[in-house]
Amino acid sequence: MQEKMKQRAKELLADGTVNRVMGWKKGEFGYDTTPAVFRSAEEIDKYFVCDDFTNSNLSKLLVKESKKDGVILAFLKPCDTYSFNQLLKEHRIDREKVYIIGIPGGPKLDAEIIKSKGITGITGVKNVNYTLVIDTIYGEEKMPFYEAVSVKCKSCKSKKHVIYDELIGDDGDILESDRFDEVEKLENMTSRERFDFWQRELSKCIRCNACKNVCPACTCEKCVFDNPKSGIENKAVSDSFEEKLFHIIRAFHVAGRCTDCGECSRVCPQNIPLHLLNRKFIKDINSLYGEYQAGADLDTKNPLTDYSTDDCEPSIVHERGVE
């Protein structure tokens, strides 16, 4: 797969279809890949990588890249195409400036999970028939591939590319996903238990803003949390409730636009399951306004910014709030 991608990227660079290529660059230890823009065949040969660890979503980076001169080639996984579509819908990306090659998705792996099994000193990771063979300075280690699958890939919603110019590999289907199971677990808690759950999780927050900065739905030119005049700027937590406020406000801001790409939970240095907040909104939108998947197409209106006479009444909040 990686070789095909490199080959095609070099062809498109050579024939002038694109002047840059967005993909991932190799790291130091075989798992620490970095999103990168390649400008020549030499760079691609030397650094380009697409493997089990290229899990970051490239779509948001295209907001900036599509403002530059020339067309950029972007390799997008199925989930990344949903983000791309949503950004197109919000007029954040210039479609003409991006040539999309859809590539098969994950499941992608999370090196932190491998490390949490006590495996350390990692110098390389290979997937041999779904057993991970891990080279470490202490010797070879093995673990099942599926045990290292990242949180964002565990409940994959779709293997289908919703936008592309060409595909490498086959297109997949929208999946029957169990992604709302964990939300249901939270819904079935008493309000006290739920409060305690989020208190425990969100109190770990260090306000690094990684979730906000990586989020493809967060593309405001000036975020309210970066604006010192807003009075709620990012740097300090004045009390234990404020952390919750930050994340809940953010979830509200992206409601109806969040495609459930899972980047927020992937980047959180404290492993806070932030995607569950967004998923709760998605689940509620589905049940109150009918099934809706942000980014699935360019035409369907976001139920939260649309009006129809059979919309639910605000009293639904009260009705649902009764325990």
Partner 1 sequence: MLKISLDRLDDFFARVASEQSLYMPVDREDGQAEFRKWTEGSKLSQRLNTVRSAKDFFFPQTENLVDFKIQGKNIEVLDTREECEDFAVFGVRACDARSFSILDKVFLCEPVDSYYKNRREHGVIISLSCTRPAETCFCTVFGIDPVEPEGDISCSTDGKSMFFKVNTPKGEEFVKKFADVFEDGDPAQLEKMKEFSRNVFKKLPLANLSTDSFGGDKMMKLFNSPKWAELSEACIGCGTCTFICPTCQCYDIRDFKTNDGVKRFRCWDSCMYSEFTKMAHGNPRVSQLERFRQRFMHKLVYFPSNNDGEFGCVGCGRCLTKCPSSINIVKVMKALEVEE
Contact 245, 234 (CB under 8 A): no
Query: What distance in Å separates the CA atoms of residue 15 and residue 99, rounded to the nearest whole number?
Result: 13
The interface region with partner 1, picked from 33-41, 78-86, 141-149, 252-260 by CB under 8 A, is 33-41
Burial 248-272 (b: 16+ CB within 10 A, else e): eebbebbbbbbbbbbbbbbbbeeeb
* Given 206, 220, 245, 249, the residue binding partner 1 (CB under 8 A): 206
CA dist 184 to 25, 116, 178, 194, 277, Å?
Answer: 38, 27, 10, 11, 12
Give dist(CA 112, CA 216) in Å, integer.
Answer: 23
- The least distance separating partner 1 from the CB of residue 321, rounded to whole angstroms, comes to 28
Check residue 40 for interaction with partner 1 (CB under 8 A): no
Q: Name which position in 36, 41, 63, 248 contacts partner 1 (CB under 8 A).
A: 36
Q: Which of residues 206 and 249 has its CB atom nearest to partner 1 in the complex?
A: 206
Applying the rule CB under 8 A, the residues between 272 and 291 that interact with partner 1 are none
> Applying CB under 8 A, which of residues 8, 19, 27, 304 lies at the interface with partner 1?
27
H/E segment holding residue 125: strand 122-128
Helix (H) or strand (E) holding 79: helix 78-89
Which of 13, 74, 88, 122 contacts partner 1 by CB under 8 A? 122
Rounded distance, CA 113 to CA 224, Å? Answer: 33
* Residue 59 C-beta: closest distance to partner 1, Å: 13
Residue 240 vs 287, nearer CB to partner 1: 240
Q: Which stretch binds partner 1 (CB under 8 A): 30-38, 66-74, 245-253, 308-316?
A: 30-38
Contacts of 229 (CB under 8 A, 6+ apart): none
Find the binding residues for partner 1 in span 123-142 (CB under 8 A): 123, 136-138
Phi and psi at 65, nearest 5°, equal: -65, -35
Is 116 a binder of partner 1 (CB under 8 A)? yes
Check binding of 207 to partner 1 (CB under 8 A).
Answer: yes
| Contacts with 131 (C-beta within 8 Å, 6 or more apart), sequence order | 142, 143, 144, 145
Residues that bind partner 1 (CB under 8 A): 27-29, 32-37, 56, 61, 112, 115-116, 120-123, 136-138, 204, 206-210, 212-214, 226-228, 233-238, 266-267, 269-271
